[in-house]
Each structure stands twice: as C-alpha cells, then as structure tokens.
Amino acid sequence: MILKAPFSGKFILLFTLVLVFITITVARANNGHELWLSKASPTSVEIVCKRKSPILSNAIKELQDGWQGKKGAKLVLAVTDDKTLKGDGFRLEKEGIYSRTEAGILYGAFELLRRQSLNLSDNRFVSNPSYELRVLNHWDNLNGSIERGYAGRSIFWRGEKDLNVSSKDLELWQQYARANASIGINGSVLNNVNSSPRMLAPENLKRVKAIADALRPYGVRTYLSVNFSSPAALGGLKTSDPLDQEVIKWWKNKASEIYKLVPDFGGFLVKANSEGQPGPQDFGRTHAEGANMLADILKPFNGIVMWRAFVYSSTDKDRARQAYSEFKPLDGQFRDNVIIQVKNGPIDFQPREPFSPLFGALKKTSVMPEFQVTQEYLGHSNHLVFLSTMWEECLKSDTYQEGKGSTVARCTDGSIFNQKHTAVAGVANIGLDSNWTGHHFAQANWYAFGRLAWDNTLGSEKIANEWIRLTFKPAKSAVNWENGFIEPIRKMMLESREAAVNYSMPLGLHHIFSANHHYGPGPWWAPANVRVDWTPPYYHQAESNGIGFDRTKSGSNSVGQYAEPLASQLNDIKSCPEIYLLWFHHVPWDYKMKSGRTLWDELCNKYDIGVNQVREFQKVWDKAEQFVDTERFAHVQSRLKVQTRDAQVWKDGCLLYFQQFSKRRIPYELERPVYELDFLKSVNPMQLTGKPSGEEWMK
C-alpha cells in the first residue's frame, strides 16, 4: 500500500507517539515480583573461593550479578573456624566474607550487596543471628488454597491430582528461596498447621522432595506440619496413642521414608488439641508425651519438633489464661529437640496484645515466638500496615522473669536461658500473586520478619528505611527524592500499625471482628449456636456500667501469670498502660483518662484519629506519584481508598454499637458517623469495599 504524503506524515507521527507512550509505560511498570531485590548494572569483581557447592555457587553468582563496589575488586569467600561467629554468622572484611557455614557466606554476600546498595560502609562488619532457626510457616493446603491467605493460591500445592513439577514451579521456588536467603530466613514449613493426614502420603512426599531440592541451594531447610492422628487416618492403625508401640513404629517408618527423600529435612510442626485438631490429650496423654514421642524419632536425624502452644477450650473463663495454664506445669518435661511455639500474644495475633506470659515462664524448655506476617486481623491484603513495629514492641517487652531487662527477645534467643535450640516463626503472607503478597507494602512485612529474625535488636525505622530504598529506586530525573519520598513514606509506614489499632480496636479492645473472616467490625456478632469465646461480646464485655475484660486479681486473674512488678502494674487501673486498659480492666464510661477526657470521649477520639491518619496516608501517597512507577502507584492508591472506607466502617460500627451502652453523645468536635448501625450489621464488610482480598473470606 502506498500512502499519500500528508496522511503518511500524520500516521508516522501518531505511530511514533504511541511507541513512545508504550515505551514509557512499560519502563515505568513494575509488578513487584522482584521484591527488594531489584537489579542494578554490576561492575566487575573477582571472586576467590576454594570450596565448591550449590550454596557457594549462588553466593558467587549474587556477588557477580550485583556488585556495586570498586571495579575489578578481589573478594575471598572462605569457611573459617572463628569462634566469635555463631551459627550462620559472618564477618565482612575489605578483602572477603568469612563464616563457619556455607550458608553464612551466602548471607554475608547479601549483606554486603545490601550495604553497597544503601551506600553504607562495606569495611569490617560482624553479624551473628539472634535465632538459630528462622522459619516461615505456610498455611497452605494440598488443594492449593491458603488459610488466611490474601495473595492468591499456594506456590507449593495445586491439588493431589496435579503433583507434577514443572519448570515454572522450580523457577518460582528458587526465586522464593533466594528472597528468603537475602534476609536470612533458613526454614520453610510447606503446609497448614491444620494439616491433612494426606500430607504424609508417598505421592505428596515426592513433591516435598522436589521443593526441598529447589530450596536447599539457598540454605532453606524444609519442614512439614503433621496431623497427630496420621497413624490411624493415613496408616490404618486402630489408634494414634503416642505411647502405643505400633504407633511409634509407624512414625519411625514415616520419618525414615521422609529422610531418604530429604536428607536435611528439618522436622515437624504440630498443632495438637487445639480448635478441633487431634492430639495426645485424646488418649489421656500430655503435650509433653506427644511431643517427646516425635522428638525421639527425629533425634537420630537431627530433626526438631515445633509444638504449638496455641490451645484453648470453651471451659476456661478466660481464653487468655489457657496456654500458660497447660504448658507452665510441663516445663522441663520436654526433650531438648522440642521447641514450644508461642504466639506473640495470649489470644490470637490481634492488632495489639500484651506479650504472652509464657515468654520467660518456661525456663527449662526451648521457646520460639510465632508472629503472623499475613494480615488476618489487620485488613488482609487491602490495608497498608507495617507490622515490624508490632513485633518490635513484643520483642522489647520486659517479662521481668529474671529481673529487669528480661525481654521477650532475651528470653527466647538463648541470652538468659540455656536453650538447646533457638527459633522464631512467621506465618507467611506469600501466594501466587505477581507481587507475592497481594499488597506491595505487605512485602515489607516479609522483609521485616526476616531482618528481625536475624537481629532481634533492629529498630523498625531502620528496617523501613532499608526496605524503601531497596524496593523503590529513584528515576534519574527525580528531584527531592530524600525529603519528597523517603521521609514521608517511612513516616507513613511507622505510623500505620498504630493507625490500624486506632480505627479498629484502641485502648486494649480486641477480637471484635465480624464473623469468621476477621474482616471489618462485628462487636455485635453473637449467634446463639456459636460458642461464647468465639464471639466479640465475650471480649469487650460492654454494658451500661462500662467496657473491657476484667483480668485483674478480682477478675480472671490473668495478671497473675505475669512476673512482678509487672503483674501489680497491670492489676492497678492507674498504672496499667492505657494501650492495654480494656484488655485487663472493665472500666466505667466516665473513667478519667490521662488526657483528661472520659473513657467514652477518649474512645471516640481514638477512632476519629485512626480514620484521619489513613486519610493522611492517601495524601502522602498521592504526592509520591512522581517518584513511583505507574503500576505500583495505582495499586497502592486503590488499596488506600479501600482502607479509608474500611476505617470509616470500623469507626461508625463500633461507636454506634458501644453508644447503645454508654448512652453518651459522640463529642461534637468529631466528624459524625456516615453509616447507620443497622445497615452495617446487615452487610458483609467486604461488600462495602468492592475489593476482595482473597478467597478465604468467601467460605
């Protein structure tokens, strides 16, 4: 076809403009799949390493692909017997990276590249991990769904009818392992704590082997959650009694089968006698007897048992007391390769809880903190909530179990108690979404967990600063990058968890969520056919004379599970920190707070502050548009709109509901509710957002 000149010129101009637009759009698009490991143009570096192994090969590759130091520099990688290095610790010198383990050299390589990217000194630097085992718990099911998963389906499982391993599977698992290695995570539990006995079926174990083979070259060991009734449910035995010889024989055979496939298999994670899961108590045995049976079987293979302390029944008058009541009397009865896995708080990953009283109370037993990276109770993948501040708050809390300074961190990392093993776990927020975590800022929580697992003394400000600088790179044309982007985004992240507490459950309120999906408010939710400790009124105890759960000595006495002087501080309404006031006290509506306001007015103010904080986040992010690629900017902007609407729903729902008991007005200076209570009680909170955050909530 021959075009006439005038038309041809316009066409060419238009075509050129379209190409330019497409080029700019593609250049500024970023689906977040690279996480904090964005690529940079490397300079040349000479690596000297006498040993050869898959882990060391990956360390060399990372350094060659990402070197930002002096061009042509020479770097030695060497395993050393330096006694100042512990576990996978490493030492960076100007001339090389040294560690007692090959994995430590890989971690040192990532640390060196991180320091180069952040323009920090890469001279002498020594780093030892706080915990020996730094593990992600995946709540993934064999059918590919994820319990409390908000970022797509499982990266490990697609269903038992599709167990073939593809090249895409291997590539994804390697990317996952690399991301974990970059932040020091060295273990992965591949399946849900609510485990199917089918997990241990031979065909599924073959896939476990394939996954383990992909993770191993990055120093990530594989673990499995097991169902305690597997000998009967899968093996066909008449019982799963841990003291029965046939049961013990079955577990021995199964362990041998696993270790033949995965020689470096890490061990088992067990949820027993909790929320309907089977356990040793079904046979009149204790948690110690059940855990020790598995521990004895795994001992010859250097395997461990991570035994969860998340237990509660409907018979105790205070659910917050139950884990301590069951496990404290068993202290000293567990084998040294058993680690008791304790949630950060005594209830269930709430936006704010006091630390579990089990930390420090178990003095003869290895104890590991369990944090929740996935945002089950914090807006799923719709809300921007940086969880590092929550975990830091827990780790730095003083238990006083061995005097002042007995922090949760020091009680669990071997600093105070002689633990055979030290460990920390995080419930993963990872799925098949292109950005891994459903929300671009939720990647920061994966990153933060790894960094705190490696060094539990790190501050959240440092972690946020690292993640922002590693994840978002300034364009060459960017002006005022430091003050226009880094500072406001870091401030937003550091305030985000407190904002979430303010607009959902301030002043110690907890577990007042809507129904089973734990999204949005539901302080009114109390069906007659549901056990009382699964309903919000059990926790908030709102009535005409006040609100809050009385856990003082005159109430359930959960304060008695804490050491002095903390127990007395929490017991006294005047000295109890106001952030935990309604957790430990039933407080009159007219009680005078430190601000001079009544409790009711303070509650109203907190909810109002929370809503306004999120609105401010919207402004901060909108101003960041010039610094961020179009894809991630639009994604976060959209999610902040959802979060702001949700904050309003939380504020209106809770205040209008509690107002029925307080009989007091909402202070006139605060913004009025925009929803009717009856309307909020009649709808699923997800219907108000138009933004489902995962498949689980629809069940």
Residue 174 lies in a domain: yes
Residues 6+ apart with CB under 8 A from 560: 553, 567
Do 111 and 73 belong to one domain? yes
Burial-class residue 89 by CB neighbours within 10 Å (0-12, 13-18, 19+): buried
The stretch 342-368 carries a mean pLDDT of 98
pTM of structure? 0.95
Do 322 and 383 belong to one domain? yes
Q: Is the pLDDT of residue 478 over 90?
A: no
Which DSSP state fits 377? T
Tokens of 533: 């400790």
Do 377 and 516 belong to one domain? no
The predicted structure's pLDDT at residue 121 = 81
Residue 543's beta-bridge partner residues? 546
Which of 88, 376, 533, 629 is the catalytic position? Answer: 376
Q: Is the pLDDT of residue 691 over 70?
A: no
Residue 26 lies in a domain: no
Which of 95, 275, 482, 671 is the catalytic position? Answer: 275
- Which residue do the tokens 């990392």 mark? 413
CATH number at residue 308: 3.20.20.80
Do 113 and 137 belong to one domain? no
Q: Is the pLDDT of residue 25 over 70?
A: no
Least confident of 245-249, 537-541, 598-602, 682-686: 682-686
Q: How many structural domains are present in the chain?
A: 3
Do 350 and 392 belong to one domain? yes
Residues 6+ apart with CB under 8 A from 546: 586, 587, 588, 589, 591, 599
Whether residue 667 contacts residue 604, with contact meaning beta carbons closer than 8 Å, is answered with: yes
Whether 275 sits among the annotated catalytic residues: the reply is: yes
Do 232 and 99 belong to one domain? no
The predicted structure's pLDDT at residue 696 = 40
Q: Is the pLDDT of residue 12 over 90?
A: no
At 480 the three-state DSSP class reads coil
pLDDT digits (tens, 9 = 90+) for 218-264: 999 999 999 999 999 999 999 999 999 999 999 999 999 999 999 99
Q: Is the pLDDT of residue 312 over 80?
A: yes
The predicted structure's pLDDT at residue 9 = 55
CATH number at residue 664: 3.90.1330.10
pLDDT digits (tens, 9 = 90+) for 424-476: 999 999 999 999 999 999 999 999 999 999 999 999 999 999 999 999 988 77
Do 215 and 256 belong to one domain? yes
Q: Give the whole-angstrom CA distance, residue 147 versus residue 226.
A: 16
Do 274 and 305 belong to one domain? yes
The stretch 204-216 carries a mean pLDDT of 98
Residues 6+ apart with CB under 8 A from 32: 434, 435, 436, 440, 443, 632
Q: Give the whole-angstrom CA distance, residue 597 versus residue 206.
A: 62
The stretch 67-96 carries a mean pLDDT of 96
Do 240 and 379 belong to one domain? yes
CATH number at residue 53: 3.30.379.10
Task: Tell me which of 100, 127, 154 is where a domain ends.
Answer: 127
End-to-end alpha-carbon separation of the chain, Å?
58
Domain enclosing residue 531, as ranges: 497-549+586-698
Q: Is the pLDDT of residue 10 over 70?
A: no
Dihedral sign (CA 647, 651, 652, 653): positive
Q: Is the pLDDT of residue 509 over 70?
A: yes
Helix (H), strand (E) at residue 558: none
The predicted structure's pLDDT at residue 367 = 98
Q: Give the whole-angstrom CA distance, residue 487 versus residue 26.
A: 27
φ, ψ at 217 (rounded to 5°): -65, -10
Do 214 and 343 belong to one domain? yes
Which of 122, 140, 348, 602 is the catalytic position? Answer: 348
Burial-class residue 166 by CB neighbours within 10 Å (0-12, 13-18, 19+): exposed
Residue 503 lies in a domain: yes
Residue 616 lies in a domain: yes
Residue 312 lies in a domain: yes
Q: Give the whole-angstrom CA distance, residue 548 versus residue 583.
A: 6
Whether residue 335 contacts residue 291, with contact meaning beta carbons closer than 8 Å, is answered with: yes
Residues 6+ apart with CB under 8 A from 605: 595, 597, 667, 670
**H helix intervals, 128-225:** 167-182, 202-215
Local confidence band at 314 (pLDDT 50, 70, 90 cut-offs): low
Residue 332 lies in a domain: yes
Residue 492 lies in a domain: no
Residue % of the chain over a pLDDT of 90: 90
Residue 565 lies in a domain: no
Do 80 and 219 belong to one domain? no
Among the listed residues 422, 330, 338, 407, the one whose alpha carbon sits nearest the alpha carbon of residue 566:
407
Whether residue 235 contacts residue 203, with contact meaning beta carbons closer than 8 Å, is answered with: no
Task: Tell me which of 400, 428, 455 is where a domain ends.
Answer: 455
Task: Tell me which of 392, 423, 455 is where a domain ends.
Answer: 455
φ, ψ at 57 (rounded to 5°): -60, -40
Q: Give the whole-angstrom CA distance, residue 560 versus residue 352.
A: 20
Do 415 and 522 belong to one domain? no
